[in-house]
Structures are given as structure tokens and as C-alpha cells.
Structure 1
């Protein structure tokens, strides 16, 4: 039963540490790189772009500022087939990076680092 205090201490330490944000891990930067390769042919991926190359594709800023937009909603959008959106085979890291990048546009109104 001496294991319980050490488990409790580890749990306390995990709960006491601040959560990592996507910006701290550079996840959104990786997401921007993937978006440039995969998404930019159809979507305006930077906040300064007012119109997407494909008029039917929303801009990333429009996606980010849609009321109620969450990481979960973006995950569904990127993993569920829907009209006009080709299905890409993204790794979890690529998908999470794109989502972090899109949500960063909501927070700052422009891409981080600009």
C-alpha cells in the first residue's frame, strides 16, 4: 500500500501543472505548414486573405470565427465526408496542427508570428 502515496503525489503534480497550449508546442506552426500544402488550393488559410481560391470553400478565418466553433467541430469536419470537401489522409498530428492553427486565428485575428 506504499504505492498509493506516490500515485497520489504524481496525480497531484499532473493536476497542478498548467496545461500546454498549442502555441507553446508549436503545434499551430506545424498546422500552418500542412495547411499550406493540403488546404490552400481551396481555402484562404491566412487571416489577411479575404476570399478562398475556391469560392465555395470558407476561409480559415471564417471557420475560426464561426460561433460555437470548437476543436471537436473541426475534428468532425476533417474526418467526416461532406459535399465539396475531399477526404485527406491526415495523421492525428497533422489534423491537430491544422485545428490548432485555425483556432489560433480566432484568438488573435491573424496568424501567430505575423
Structure 2
């Protein structure tokens, strides 16, 4: 997401939330290594800038579980993941209009 829009993710998150601790579920880095997407290498490099936390889950389950346990925000535009996060009461940050980050304030069912 930040690569396609040439966004400085650190600055955008700081503008939205102030100083924050950014963590990445370890299994996501492993998944990125197996992706054939043109931004996969850049995503791995970005993820390694932050604290990588091991989890017993994989994929979206790792994201949902970690966020639910820590009370953290999740940055995603993935519709299915957002639905799951909302069910768990996890706050979501999304890219809006391809230009800026916003906190998703949707409170109902999708």
C-alpha cells in the first residue's frame, strides 16, 4: 500500500496518531518472502524496520489475534480482514483516496 502511493508510512501514522510503536506479526514476513508481487521485497524491508513479534497463528489470524491482545490498530485496506477486525472491536486504519490514512469509524455490521 505505501509503495503504490509513494507514501512515507512513518510520517503518515505519526500525523494521524502521534508517536506510536509499530509491530509486525512474524508470520506476515514469512508470507511476504513467498509472494511474487512486485512490492514484496520492499514490504519485507519495511517490515524489518519495525519490531517483528512471533505468533502461533498465520496470515490474517496472526493480525487479528495480535491486535485483539494488544489493543493496537491495524493498517489495512483488505475488506475481509476489516470485517473480521470490526467483529473483534479492533480499530482500523485505512488508505483513503490513495492519498492519506484515516481511522475507520464504521461501527455496524458489514
Q: TM-score, normalised by structure 1?
A: 0.27
Answer 1 or 2: higher relative contact order, Cα 8 Å, separation at least 6.
Answer: 1
Higher share in strand:
2
Q: TM-score, normalised by structure 2?
A: 0.27
